Amino acid sequence: MLFHSYESVHVYLLTLSVAIAGLCTFEAARRHSILWLAYACVACTVAMFCFGSGVATFPAVMILAFALRLPWRWFALPLCTLAFCLFLYLYALPGDQGVRAMLALRPIDSAFVAVDWLSSPWVRGWLGFADPPLDPSTISGLPYQHFGAQLQASANWMERVSGASWPVLARALGFIGVCAFLIGFARLAFRRHAQLTRLQALASMLCLFALATATVISIGRLDYFNTYPDQVYADRYLVWPSLFWTGLVMLLLSQTHSSLERKLAGACLCACMLLPVALLPTQEASAVWGSIVYRNAQQISAASRTGVFDPAIFPDGDDARREDVLRTLALLKQQRMAMFANPSFEQIGHVWAGSLVRSDRFTVDAHLHDLFDDAQTGTRAAHFEGIVATGAGQIQHSGELAVFDSDNRIVGLSEFSYISPPAALIMRTPRKRGFDGYIRDYRPDARYRLVLLPRSGTQAIELCDVGPVPH
């Protein structure tokens, strides 16, 4: 999820704005300066227009300001800023009618949804693997991951010991987490002659933001979650509940005055040290899924730029009809966006006018994967794949992979798409040496060669022949 380009706004900038808003509010109390509260309001405004959940930063800042004992008259500043942003969001900006239509006021139902939503990290990382699993597709590969079988067994064991299903257990954990934060935060906010530290202010801001986000989502998405109950644990929401539990742990670690608090802090610290091992199976399973999705996206890019419509990778169903896909691709091509930002696709069908040489710097193998009829033109097309054994970095830096026929006509393009030997994308991602490509107007009696097409210059390098489908 977090490798997508748009997450730079939806997640990273929003999370940064939340942290800045909390720290600025703390500075407003420490310096007794309303200017710093104004800075916090600016951060809240940025957060609100990054993503819908950003609206939760305003109530989080106001509750934190109350705990920091800021003057009451200062609260007019975040309130007025929130009112102005809400006016823009609900009435002035495009799509405002849809935002208002999503609101559903049923407090009890929303409270249960909010607690379930906050428990999603426990579900996605552990409890959701118990029978019946949240996502059966993730269970099939889990026993093959490190500690995967043990993780699944422990989730089933929890169900047997407690006598409750995993959704009930998750709701209980969410309720315990909310209560623990409210008790801890209340002790800090109402304790006389005590002031929150910077760490406690930041931790409280993360928790308050997540709680406020849970409130907003449980009201705005209540009917949707009633129709699709499993979506309350969807991974697209996972960042915000994770912020809640992160803030709660930070808050517990910062309170070590009594013996009980020190024991709780020690338990949290031990849990944090064990967390990477506990989450290793889900990390590996998610990485496998991510690598599959990435390769599929690269195949779509290669097919689109070659001018081939492969029915195996392009959707044609209720969610996306072929006509809609073709229209979208045509618009992207017209505007030179996405995969068409690189103008090399314009050379498809043209004879290479430069020179063609061979080089022993590269070791490449390519072969046909399958043959099919183009769903758009009806002509024969081919999907090929291959591996760059040596020189992958230089190829990716110097140009891109293309296919020449016997007349040096450019009839296909390729995209680096997978890691070889087969492995999943991980945080320390190895270089992708595997590639997928397409050949347009394929003829079984023709000779096709994989070529390094330079980004600048007129000298292309012949790498290898595209071999037949391996048996």
pLDDT digits (tens, 9 = 90+) for 190-249: 877 778 899 999 999 999 999 999 998 888 888 888 888 888 998 888 889 999 999 999
Q: What is the mean pLDDT of residues 343-364?
A: 90
Q: What is the pLDDT of residue 430?
A: 63
Q: Which of 70-84, 226-240, 276-290, 455-469 has the lowest mean pLDDT?
A: 276-290
- Of 249-263, 312-326, 457-471, the range with the highest mean pLDDT is 457-471
pLDDT for 376 beyond 90: no
Question: Could you tell me the pTM of the whole model?
Answer: 0.76
Is 381 or 377 the better-scoring residue by pLDDT? 381
Q: What is the mean pLDDT of residues 295-302?
A: 92
Q: What is the mean pLDDT of the chain?
A: 86
Q: How does DSSP assign 135-165, residue by residue?
A: -HHHHTTGGGSTTHHHHHHHHHHHHHHH-S-
Q: Which burial class, exposed, middle or buried, applies to 224 when counting CB atoms under 10 A from its CB (0-12, 13-18, 19+)?
A: middle
pLDDT for 255 beyond 80: no
What tokens were used for 41? Answer: 């309001």
DSSP three-state, residue 364: strand
Packed helices 198-220 and 107-118: angle between N→C axes, nearest 10 degrees: 130
DSSP three-state, residue 282: helix
- 8 Å CB contact between 351 and 409: yes
pLDDT for 103 beyond 70: no
* H helix intervals, 119-147: 120-125, 136-139
Q: What amino acid occupies position 44?
A: C
Q: What amino acid occupies position 412?
A: G
Q: What is the pLDDT of residue 5?
A: 47
Which band of pLDDT confidence, cut at 50, 70 and 90, is reported for residue 343?
confident
| Tens-digit pLDDT profile for residues 3-39 | 444 455 578 889 999 999 999 999 999 999 999 999 9
- List of residues 6+ apart from 370 with CB closer than 8 A: 312, 382, 383, 469
| Tens-digit pLDDT profile for residues 308-335 | 988 888 877 777 788 888 888 889 988 8
Which band of pLDDT confidence, cut at 50, 70 and 90, is reported for residue 104?
low
| Tens-digit pLDDT profile for residues 60-92 | 999 999 999 999 999 999 999 999 988 887 776
pLDDT for 140 beyond 90: no
- List of residues 6+ apart from 264 with CB closer than 8 A: 252
Q: What is the pLDDT of residue 94?
A: 60
Determine which helix (DSSP H) or strand (DSSP E) holds 260, and give its type and residue range.
Answer: helix 259-278
Tell how strand 363-373 and strand 410-418 pair up.
Answer: unpaired
| All structural domains of the chain with their residue ranges | 290-467
- 8 Å CB contact between 241 and 117: yes
How many residues does the structure list for the chain? Answer: 471
Q: What is the mean pLDDT of residues 112-122?
A: 92
